[in-house]
Structure 1
C-alpha cells in the first residue's frame, strides 16, 4: 500500500507507527513525502498513492475519485493561518490597508487560502488585491524584503515570524472560530475509491497509529526530527501539540460541521466547485 504525507512533525508523528510495522494487522506502507500542494495536484490528476493527505480545500475537486477518512488529518482550534505584514508600516493592523496590495499565499487550493478569501471579503474594501502564489518558506522573506505587501503563512511560521521582523495583521483561526464557533479544517486524509482495501480497516489502522503516537511519544521522536525542516526539537513539539488532537483520531460531529461550513461557504463564493456535502461521508 502506498501513502503520501508531508514531512511536517504532525504527519510524521501520526503515521510513524503505521509506517513502521507497529500497528497490528496493518499492511506494509511505502511512504512518499510530499508537501500538500503536490498531493492536491496528484489527487486532482487521479495520480499518486492510494492514500494521501491533501488540503480540505481541495476536496471538492476530488470527491468523485477519493473518499474522506474520519481520522489522521488536521483540524483544530488556535492553529489558523496568519496574515503578516512588515513591522512598523503604515496601516499596520488595519485590514483596509491591504486594499489593492500584493499578497503572497502558499497555494490557491488550500484551506489557508479559502479562509483568507472569506476573511478578505468581510474585511478588505473591494476584497484582496493581487494574489501571488509562492512556496510557503519564501513568503516571510518576501514580505520582510518588501517584495510583497503581506503574506499568508502556515506551518511552523506561526512560531517564527517575529524572527523576520514581521507583525501579525490577522489570525484566520481566531476569525473563523469567532465567526462560526467551529474548528479549522486543514489537512484531510483520503483514499482512492477504487483501491483494493477495506476502508473501515484502514480507518482503524490510522486511528491506532494516532493512539500509539500519543502513548509512546518517544518512539517517533527521531523519525519526526529527521524529517523536520530546519526545526528545533522545541518547535517540532509545539507543532505536534498544536495540530495533533482529538480530531486527528476522529472527526466527530464538530469536525464534519467545520468541513461542511468551510466548503459550503467557499462554494457559495465561487472559490470551489459546488458539490453534494453528503459525499463527505460516503
Structure 2
C-alpha cells in the first residue's frame, strides 16, 4: 500500500475539501495521512519535496514546478474577492505606500498579489514595506497598534469589519477589474517522482473527495466546523462556499489562464522565475 502524506491547512475550506478522503467516502488502496499545517509551512516544505501531495500557494508553485505536478482539482480562486489590505482607519495612497504592512508569508499568493497591486498603483519596481506575521495574528497586531495595516486571508475576509477594521483594498476585486479573471490563490499538487500511475490516482482521489463534499454538504460542513476558529455555522458555510465550489472541482480553462497570467505577471515583475504551467487531467 502506497502511503501518501497529504498536506493541507487547518481551515474549514480545506477540511471541507478533504472530508471525502478523511471520512472514507472515497475508496482507494492508497494510505492517505492528513498533515495539517499553515500554508506558509506547506510552501516551505514543498521547496524540499517533503510531502507526496500538498496544498500550496500558486505563488509557491512557481518555485516547485520541477518537483510537483499541478492538479486541476482543489484550486482556490477569489472571484471579485480575495486577500485584503485592512487598517484601523482609512489610508491615503501616499500613506499606504509608506506603511509597513503585516503579511501572512512571502511565498503566499496574497503577497504576490500585493506586489503586483503596488506596481499597478505606484509604478514598476515599487514594492510594499512588509513584515511577516502569522495570518491569525495580523488583525490583533493592528488592533494593538503594532502595525498600521495588514494583508488578511482566510476567514478574516468575512470578519474584519466586526473587528474594527477598515478595508483599504481587495486584491481579488482589483485583479478581476484588471484582467477579467478570478484571482488564483491556492492549488493542490502531487510529486512527479511517484510516477504516472500514482499521480493519476491521487488526482482521482482529490477530485472525488471534493465531489463528495459538494454532494454531502451537511456532513462535510459539520466536519469542517471543527477547523472554523470560532466562526458560527452561517459564516463558515459562506466562507466554504467562497473557496470550495464547481471551480474547485475543476479549475477549467479560465482557471488555468488565470494561474498562467498571475505567474507571468510575477515573472515580469522579477518576483518569480519563469514557469511552465502543465496541469494533470
Q: Same fold (TM over 0.5)?
A: yes
217-226 or 166-175, larger mean C-alpha shift: 217-226
Q: Deviations over 1:180-224 (max 9, x none)?
A: 001111111010111254322322221111111111112223321
Match of 1:61 among 54, 60, 63: 63
Counterpart in the other structure of 2:108: 110
Query: Does the C-alpha gap of structure 1 residues 137 and 27 become closer, same or farther in structure 2, counting only changes over 3 Å?
Result: same
Is the Cα–Cα contact under 8 Å of residues 100 and 128 in structure 1 kept in the other structure? no
Counterpart in the other structure of 1:154: 153
Q: How many residues align?
A: 276
Match of 2:34 among 11, 31, 35: 31
Counterpart in the other structure of 1:101: 99
TM-score (norm 1): 0.92
SS at match of 2:98: coil
In 1, Cα distance between equivalents of 2:221 and 2:168: 34
SS at match of 1:162: coil
Give, in angstroms, the shift of residue 71 of structure 1: 0.4
SS at match of 2:131: strand
Is the Cα–Cα contact under 8 Å of residues 20 and 209 in structure 2 kept in the other structure? yes
**1:204-215 counterparts in 2 under 5 A?**
204-215=204-215
Match of 2:86 among 84, 87, 90: 84
In 1, Cα distance between equivalents of 2:227 and 2:40: 18
Query: Does the C-alpha gap of structure 1 residues 261 and 21 become closer, same or farther in structure 2, counting only changes over 3 Å?
Result: same
SS at match of 1:194: helix
Q: Deviations over 1:60-113 (max 9, x none)?
A: 1101111111101212313310011113xxxx2532321222111111111111
* CA RMSD, 1 decimal: 1.8
TM-score (norm 2): 0.92
SS at match of 1:262: helix
Give, in angstroms, the shift of residue 230 of structure 1: 2.3
Is the Cα–Cα contact under 8 Å of residues 57 and 107 in structure 2 kept in the other structure? yes
